[in-house]
Amino acid sequence: MQADLGKNYFELFDLPITFDLDVTDLAVRYRDLQRRFHPDRFASAPEPDRRLSLQLTAQINAAFQALKDPVARARYLLGLQGIDTGEDTDTAMDAAFLVEQMELRESLAEAREAVDRHARLESLRQRVDEEFAARSARLRDHFAENSEPARRKARNLVREMQFLRKLAHEVEELE
């Protein structure tokens, strides 16, 4: 079995190291790698090959989960550049974004109690999706720029997108 566990996720899928990915192409490559390295194909192989197959399958799955999701992909890209997004330690956020989050949270609370709950939730979901898409587009631009100030801006956008994703999930649960 020819494989290298030391490859980064992009190398594993033979993709350029970029934020812009064709997710459909990624899925095709994922299925191909799964087919080639699935442990069932190595059931009668020597123990080292079986172990490597299991490790590769786990790495392929982790890579696919990270690369198919724009927030996880951005976080991974920043990590490759030595930038920690600081989810666990950095609580400082842009004041305007925090105000926006408070307004969105108030809209969510109001929607919970509203007679026209479904319409309000749908409107809120659309607004959150638009905000997420706008930040994703800006993130794409910052990664393309590839400078230190652009990476700092990308880091902040990733953190904002995580907040928006959490809010979208809460809206989805209420729907």
- Residue 154 domain flag: yes
Contact status, residue 74 vs residue 19, Cβ threshold 8 Å: yes
Residue 4 lies in a domain: no
pTM passes above 0.75: yes
What integer pLDDT is reported at residue 88 of this predicted model? 66
- Are residues 102 and 169 located together in one domain of the fold? yes
Domain count of the fold of the chain: 2
What does the pLDDT look like over 101-145, one tens digit per residue?
Answer: 899 999 999 988 888 988 999 999 999 999 999 999 999 999 999
The residue written with tokens 């607004």 in the block is 127
Q: Do residues 101 and 64 share a domain?
A: no
Supply the pLDDT for residue 23: 95
104 and 53 assigned to the same domain: no
Residue 34 sits in which domain range?
Answer: 9-68
Summarize the confidence of residues 167-173 as an average pLDDT: 93
- Kindly state whether residue 138 falls inside one of the protein's structural domains: yes
- Residues 44 and 111 placed together within one structural domain of the fold: no
CATH number for position 129: 1.20.1280
Average pLDDT, the chain: 90
The band of 175, judged by pLDDT with boundaries at 50, 70 and 90, is: confident
For residue 81, being part of any structural domain is answered with no
The Cα 73–Cα 61 span in angstroms is: 14
Q: Helix 95-113 vs helix 148-174: angle between axes, to the nearest 10 degrees?
A: 10
pLDDT tens string 19-46:
999 999 999 999 999 999 999 888 888 9
Average pLDDT over every residue of 67-84: 94
- Distance CA(27)–CA(147), nearest Å, equals 30
83 within domain boundaries = no
Tell me the CATH number at 46: 1.10.287.110
